Structure 1
Amino acid sequence: MDIKEALCVRPLHVGTLAQSQRGGQGGSRALCPPRGLQECPLCSQEHGRERCWFSPQRAQTDPSLCRPSEKVTLDPETASPFLLLSADHRTLRLAEGFQDLPDTPQRFTDSPSVLGSRGFTAGRHYWELEVGKGHSWAVGVALESVQRKDSLSIALGKVWALRLDWDGQYTALHGLPALLALQEKPRRIRVHLDYEGGQVTFYNTENMAQILQFKTSFTEKVFPYFWLWSADTFIRLCD
């Protein structure tokens, strides 16, 4: 493996530091960062985690580097009556019919949408999700002020999402939808949010190939966003 191309190189667990200084077992590899690489500040601050190093170039291109994924769950208070959430609020399916739920200001009604339980006003964050083999889903982010009582087409000015349409066409959703020509059909997707940088980026988690990137600017809280309109598929948030 070329160490400069490695996303995260883990030569030595911090718990073996004392051993290596005494010449004991477990300290066979050097603690000094390999040439041209820098130590991850997150790992160096968290005892019990393995230390790792990466290149400055990688730090610029991968905003999630050495940051833990967010523990995103689905917010039942925003879930459309068309949607069915699992008991742990991590899996989303289309309900068999329109459910009798309180019509609160927070709830989506005309759009089969739901927000994540946590919003962001700063920083870099990412979460991963799995989609089923079916069509008619969208994942991304939305502003807190997104319209809750209108269709998705009306709300698009405040949504940045990747959608798979009923005909198998992938679309970039924001304002006027734009068709995408993807070589692969991603089943597991990583969504990156860089709040200050104004970027929302989607990756195919299996090979970390970039699918889509939006560039904008945010001035209010941003939430994970999910849309589903097919009984043949699901959206599941990953651990």
Structure 2
Amino acid sequence: MAIPWLHHYAARYIPHCVWNWICEAAEDVALDSESANPGLLISGDDKRMRCGLERIDVTMSQGRFDGWWCVVGQEGYTSGRHYWEVEVGERDWRLGVAKASAVRQGFRPLNTDTGYLTIRLERGTDLKALTVPTTPLPQNQVPRKVGVHLDYEQGQLSFYNVEKRSHLFTYNEKFTEKLYPLFGTVEVVKDLVVRPAGVREPCLCPGPCLWN
């Protein structure tokens, strides 16, 4: 079920049937601590992250971020539909996917030219998709919980404001390599949290909902 029309309806409420179809692809995503920037603190259950006050002494490798404060998921995808939700901070974060060939070292831009398909919040209000050039997103739609839906065969990566059940942005391209969930934050107080797959936000319908 491809949904190519979604990019025309940014900040619009997603119909029940489409939202339920998206959530059917929900799965538990865990952070890969072996890829985490040494400045990040990863929780023991690999579900929470934030910046520490000092860099951790870790083994460096090509798979570990040493510039941007990022980490990828433990599992990469080469087929199928996958959906995960993230509680983000209020100042600066990024979410999306990293291609297997994307370089993780240094401070080069993490955008479509370097193998990253992401959205980012800067300074608490500047929400954008890191296309080349960047694509500004509605500032009144800055989310606190973000849903990420990957449809590998259809070549779609979509982002949603979970609490408002609204569409934020969709990347469309032909995927040819493994894609890893990507998470980034610079917050030192509030954790970025990968939500359990079974958690669902309450419906926005007034009264009992017949669609869930």
TM-score if structure 2 supplies the norm length? 0.78
**Distance in 2 separating the partners of 1:116 and 1:175:** 24
1:147 aligns with 103
1:135 aligns with 91
SS in 1 for 2:141: coil
**Distance in 1 separating the partners of 2:91 and 2:23:** 32
Q: How does 1:1-239 map to 2 (within 5 A)?
A: 7=16, 58=17, 61=18, 64-65=21-22, 67-132=24-89, 134-153=90-109, 156-157=112-113, 158-166=115-123, 168-239=125-196
Over residues 110-160 of structure 1, what are the superposed CA-to-partner deviations in whole Å (9 max), with x where a residue is unaligned? 12110011111011110011113x311101111011111121516652111
**Distance in 2 separating the partners of 1:66 and 1:170:** 24
SS in 1 for 2:136: strand
- Quickly say closer, same or farther: Cα 1:219–1:62, change in 2 above 3 A: farther
1:63–1:192 contact (8 Å) kept in structure 2: no
**Distance in 2 separating the partners of 1:234 and 1:70:** 20
2:71–2:183 contact (8 Å) kept in structure 1: yes
Structure 2: stretches of 5+ with no match in the other structure = 1-13, 197-212
SS in 1 for 2:76: coil
SS in 1 for 2:33: coil
1:64–1:124 contact (8 Å) kept in structure 2: no
- Quickly say closer, same or farther: Cα 1:201–1:116, change in 2 above 3 A: same
Displacement of 1:234 after TM fit?
Answer: 2.6
SS in 1 for 2:36: coil
Identity of aligned residues (%): 33
SS in 2 for 1:224: strand
SS in 1 for 2:182: strand
Which range is displaced more, 115-124 or 177-186? 177-186
Displacement of 1:195 after TM fit?
Answer: 0.6
Over residues 9-56 of structure 1, what are the superposed CA-to-partner deviations in whole Å (9 max), with x where a residue is unaligned? xxxxxxxxxxxxxxxxxxxxxxxxxxxxxxxxxxxxxxxxxxxxxxxx
**Distance in 1 separating the partners of 2:15 and 2:141:** 23
Which range is displaced more, 110-119 or 181-190? 181-190
**Distance in 2 separating the partners of 1:144 and 1:128:** 21
Structure with the larger RCO, 1 or 2 (CA within 8 Å, 6+ apart)? 2
Task: Give the residue type in structure 1 aligned to 2:103.
Answer: Q
**Distance in 1 separating the partners of 2:47 and 2:56:** 19
SS in 2 for 1:77: helix
**Distance in 1 separating the partners of 2:15 and 2:21:** 14
Task: Give the residue type in structure 2 aligned to 1:149.
Answer: Q
SS in 2 for 1:122: coil
Task: Give the residue type in structure 2 aligned to 1:142.
Answer: A
